[in-house]
Structure 1
Amino acid sequence: MLSAAKGVLFDLDGTLLDTADDLGAALNHLLNVYEFPVVSSKEYRLVASDGVYPLLELGFKQQLGRFDKEVLRQEFLDYYLANIANHTQLFPGIEQLLTLIEQANIPWGIVTNKPAFLTDPLLLHFKQFKKSQSNISGDTIKERKPHPAPMLLASKEIGISAEHIWYLGDAKRDIDAGNAALMTTVAVKWGYIKQFDDCSKWQADHIISNPLELIEITK
Structure 2
Amino acid sequence: MLGKPKGILFDLDGTLLDTARDLGNALNWVLSCHQQPTCEYEVYRNIASDGSQGLLEIGFGQRLAQFDLDTLKAQFLARYEQQICIDTVSFDGVTTLIDGLNSANIPWGIVTNKPQWLTELLLPHFTEFDACKVVVSGDTLAKRKPHPLPLTYAADVIDIAPEHIWYIGDAKRDIDAAKAANMTSVVANYGYIGPEHQASSWNADLYIDQPQTILQHL
TM-score range with shorter-chain normalisation?
A: over 0.9
Between the aligned partners of 1:7 and 1:171, the Cα distance in structure 2 is 20
Structure 1 alignment gaps of length 5 or more: none
Could you state the TM-score of these two structures normalised by the residue count of structure 2?
0.96
1:112 and 2:75 equivalent? no
Between the aligned partners of 1:47 and 1:106, the Cα distance in structure 2 is 31
Alignment-derived partner of residue 61 in structure 1: 61
Q: Deviations over 1:106-143 (max 9, x none)?
A: 10000001110111111111111111000000111001
Alignment-derived partner of residue 16 in structure 2: 16
1:70 and 2:88 equivalent? no
Structure 1 window deviating more from structure 2 (13-22 vs 33-42): it is: 33-42
SS of 2:211's equivalent in the other structure is: coil
Identity %: 49
Between the aligned partners of 1:203 and 1:148, the Cα distance in structure 2 is 17
Cα drift, residue 8 of structure 1? 0.5
Q: Deviations over 1:167-213 (max 9, x none)?
A: 10001110111111111111110001121222221121111100111
Between the aligned partners of 1:70 and 1:77, the Cα distance in structure 2 is 11
SS of 2:13's equivalent in the other structure is: coil
1:177 and 2:173 equivalent? no
Instruction: State the one-letter code of the partner of 2:111.
Output: V
TM-align CA RMSD: 1.3
Between the aligned partners of 1:57 and 1:148, the Cα distance in structure 2 is 26
TM alignment of 1:48-197, pairs within 5 A:
48-197=48-197
TM alignment of 1:18-33, pairs within 5 A:
18-33=18-33
Q: Deviations over 1:65-109 (max 9, x none)?
A: 221111111010000001001110000000010000000001000
Between the aligned partners of 1:191 and 1:48, the Cα distance in structure 2 is 10
Could you state the TM-score of these two structures normalised by the residue count of structure 1?
0.96
Between the aligned partners of 2:165 and 2:213, the Cα distance in structure 1 is 16
Structure 2 alignment gaps of length 5 or more: none
Alignment-derived partner of residue 35 in structure 2: 35
Instruction: State the one-letter code of the partner of 1:185.
Output: S
Structure with bigger helix share is 2
SS of 1:50's equivalent in the other structure is: helix
Q: Deviations over 1:33-92 (max 9, x none)?
A: 111111100001021111111211211222212211111110100000010011100000
Between the aligned partners of 1:114 and 1:54, the Cα distance in structure 2 is 13
Between the aligned partners of 1:54 and 1:183, the Cα distance in structure 2 is 27
Structure 1 window deviating more from structure 2 (106-115 vs 55-64): it is: 55-64
Instruction: Name segments (4+ residues, structure 1) moved above 4 Å.
Output: none
Count how many residue pairs are aligned between Structure 1 and Structure 2: 217
Instruction: State the one-letter code of the partner of 1:176.
Output: D
